Amino acid sequence: MITYDNLPLTIHDIMEARTRLNGRIYKTGQPRSNYLSERCKGEIFLKFENMQRTGSFKIRGAFNKLSSLTEEEKRQGVVACSAGNHAQGVSLSCAMLGINGKVVMPSCAPKSKVAATTDYSAEVILHGNSFNETIAKASEIMEMEGRLFIPPFDDEKVIAGQGTIGLEILEDLYDVDNVIVPIGGGGLIAGVALAIKSINPRINIIGVQSENVHGMASSYYAGQITNHRNSGTLADGCDVARPGILTYEIVKDLVTDIVLVTEEEIRSSMVHLIQRNKIITEGAGALASAALLSGKLDHYIQGKKTVSIISGGNIDLSRVSQITGLETTH
């Protein structure tokens, strides 16, 4: 086992996170997709984080962060800001741990995600139409009420929680060659990369972002943190223009490659997952499969074993009908 002492956290932090999460979350399935395997000329396995509690991987990092707080910090209460999946992860974690939580969500957040977040336990405050406006409101609540802020991705405990996915992947498929990971702010890919590379550095960790929003990809290739956002994306859970400082440090050292996919490739991937694999996923959850279906990863995956992470499945049913109504595959 390799310990990367130059990085913000180590494999030991991820193993501690696994202990905290034991019995609190699901170990999600990782079946082989016959359709994608035949289509991509390699063995493709799907990691079903869309079947995780709250419908997304985000609860792993949220629960690990919240459960590591001191009793005094828990009594202070917490606040988070999110368009959906992190909000739900924080809200359910607060319910499980008996912590008073508030979540600031943008006014345009999907109604289903707002309702789910409220149902889990946290008080939801709708504010602003952009991430900057939403986080400004969360900062105001922190200052006025003395609550602790729970970051969505740029935090050691959050990254470690997401990294437990990497441990599960290797438990089920020790000889995997490639792991394909969606990227927003980078918490998921940073944690997965650190977990897997610490155990087997020969495995390729490949990130995927939308052509419309790819702050991490721009930073990765520029060699320094930069912003990138042309417009919104179907992968709204990964609509992050600027990656985290901690996540970038890990990604730049441990990730093999980052590829970009078009909005049409994301939409087509969502349709294929529904029709061929019977999986309903949100846009961010379809990013890894979009990269596989696009042919942009053929030189990595053909004749190899690859895990594609489906990061979340929280999508409004009206959005599903809009997407599937535009295309029929044969």
Interval 257-285 mean pLDDT = 94
- How many angstroms from the chain centroid is the CA of residue 251? 14
Does the pLDDT of residue 108 top 90, yes or no? no
Q: Bridge-partner residues for 171, per DSSP?
A: none
- The angle, 0 to 180 degrees and rounded to 10, between the axes of the packed helices 11-21 and 58-67 is 90
Phi, psi of 300 (to 5 degrees): -90, -40
Does the pLDDT of residue 234 top 90, yes or no? no
> Looking at the domain covering 11-55+155-324, what would its CATH class be?
alpha beta
Which amino acid, 259? Answer: V
Q: What is the structure's pLDDT at 206? A: 98
Q: 324 falls in which pLDDT band (50, 70, 90)?
A: confident
Q: Is 268 marked active-site?
A: no
Choice among 93, 210, 268, 311 that is catalytic: 311
Architecture of domain 78-146: 3-Layer(aba) Sandwich (3.40)
Q: Do domains 11-55+155-324 and 78-146 have the same CATH topology?
A: yes
Interval 81-95 mean pLDDT = 92
Share of the chain above pLDDT 90, in %: 82
Cα–Cα distance measured from residue 221 to residue 74, given in angstroms and rounded to the nearest whole number = 40
Share of the chain above pLDDT 70, in %: 98
Q: 328 falls in which pLDDT band (50, 70, 90)?
A: very low
**Tens-digit pLDDT profile for residues 198-229:** 999 999 999 999 999 999 999 999 999 999 99
Interval 24-41 mean pLDDT = 97
Structure tokens at 295: 């042919």
3-state secondary structure of 305: strand
Mean pLDDT lowest among 40-54, 132-146, 152-166, 168-182: 132-146
**148 phi-psi bin (left φ>0, alpha ψ -120 to 50, beta other):** beta
* Count of Cβ atoms closer than 10 Å to residue 234 Cβ: 27
Nearest to 57 by CA among 165, 150, 208, 155: 165
Q: What is the structure's pLDDT at 264? A: 96
Cα–Cα distance measured from residue 316 to residue 34, given in angstroms and rounded to the nearest whole number = 27
In contact, 309 and 165? CB cutoff 8 Å: yes
Kindly list the domain boundaries of the chain, sorted by start residue.
11-55+155-324, 78-146
Interval 12-27 mean pLDDT = 97
With vertex at residue 260, the alpha carbon angle to CA 36 and CA 26, rounded to the nearest 5 degrees, is 55
**270 phi-psi bin (left φ>0, alpha ψ -120 to 50, beta other):** alpha
Nearest to 45 by CA among 284, 279, 299, 283: 279
Does the pLDDT of residue 155 top 90, yes or no? yes
Q: Is 130 marked active-site?
A: no
Cα–Cα distance measured from residue 216 to residue 207, given in angstroms and rounded to the nearest whole number = 9
> What average pLDDT does the structure give for the chain?
93
Phi, psi of 173 (to 5 degrees): -150, 80
Cα–Cα distance measured from residue 93 to residue 322, given in angstroms and rounded to the nearest whole number = 32
DSSP state letter for 213? B
pTM equals 0.94
Q: What is the structure's pLDDT at 330? A: 40
Interval 98-114 mean pLDDT = 88
Q: How far lies 311's CA from each of 34, 37, 47, 153, 253, in Å?
A: 20, 19, 8, 14, 22
Cα–Cα distance measured from residue 203 to residue 187, given in angstroms and rounded to the nearest whole number = 19
Nearest to 148 by CA among 65, 212, 204: 65
Nearest to 67 by CA among 118, 17, 25, 138: 17
Mean pLDDT lowest among 41-50, 179-188, 253-262, 276-285: 276-285
Q: What is the structure's pLDDT at 130? A: 67
Choice among 33, 47, 56, 58 that is catalytic: 58
